[in-house]
Structure 1
């Protein structure tokens, strides 16, 4: 009986520590969001994407301290295959060139890549990263970066697509026209 209670307490503490680390790692954003213009295509995500989507939506539902600024809870985002494709193309480009940048092939910016993937956007944001080994690590890294955290907490975004190529990650957010 005592052993069962002890195990329950330990599991509760462990779950609390994981959530605390995730939510307290949020930091303020300096504005990687661009507001210039797509698609309603939202598809089911694979296991990796489901994990990324859950991590992002858990933070969005809870609210987050991004640096010295508090962002209250916002609506969840849904997976979008076109944003995923734009993210994959950019991650492959960064991996091929061994560079971390928001500028892509042929000097394209995120909005151009998202449009080229077939998404007609009203607003978008992009996070890029390199060197993270898994979904939890890259999300924690973005939450610890002011601009990236703000993108994650931007309530205007309703769709997300994330992809990885090698050590390079791209996370796209958008809202359609």
Structure 2
């Protein structure tokens, strides 16, 4: 009974989908590492990317990223489109994120965040997305072998 209660308390149900309740430390650690890279500036391939402002964690981006990671795992695919054909903008709009700028990085097979971050930094397009000065928020989710990083900037009201 205690185990069942523990499992129940470690999951949050939203919109009919069960999302693991990630450790706050893991979120903070991932955010800190991304912001360290953004603060320094870096080369993405041969292109130097100037330092970029820090991003903050966003729960709506997290839910969308986790949903996409779960979708890829459950439907055995790896793509920037969902199993029902939606791109990142469509998926974020469906989650209620009123966006001006969005971006997505994907990873597969890495066991730890440092590994996937390193792979993203070695890929020109992923690195450029991570260094995009126009984004203000981000989140990272991992489900089994799949990593999804979402970036966004909300519409100004």
TM-score between the two structures when normalised by the length of structure 2: 0.82
C-alpha separation in 2, matches of 1:74 and 1:63? 7
Cα deviation 1:110-131 (Å, max 9, x = unaligned): 0111111111000110001100
Q: Looking at both structures, which has the greater relative contact order when contacts are Cα pairs under 8 Å and sequence separation is at least 6? A: 1
- Other-structure match for 1:58: 36
Q: How does 1:109-128 map to 2 (within 5 A)?
A: 109-128=87-106
How many residues matched?
133
2:149 is aligned to 171
Alpha-carbon shift at residue 169 of structure 1 (Å): 0.6
- What aligned pairs does 1:22-171 form with structure 2 within 5 A after superposition? 46-171=24-149
Give the structure with the higher percent strand.
Answer: 2
CA contact (8 A) 1:51 1:135 kept: no
Asked if 2 retains the 8 angstrom alpha-carbon contact of 1:60 and 1:153, the reply is yes
Gaps of at least 5 residues in structure 2 are 1-22
In 1, Cα distance between equivalents of 2:134 and 2:29: 22
TM-score by length of 1: 0.73
Larger radius of gyration: 1
Displacement, 1:105? 2.8
* Whole-angstrom CA distance in 2 between matches of 1:121 and 1:102: 17
Instruction: Give distance in 2, aligned partners of 1:143 and 1:114.
Output: 24
Q: 2:137–2:152: 8 Å Cα contact kept in structure 1? A: yes
If each structure's helix is expressed as a fraction of its own residues, which one has the higher value?
1
Matches within 5 A, 1:12-31: none
User: Does the residue aligned with 1:173 lie in a helix, a strand or coil?
Assistant: strand
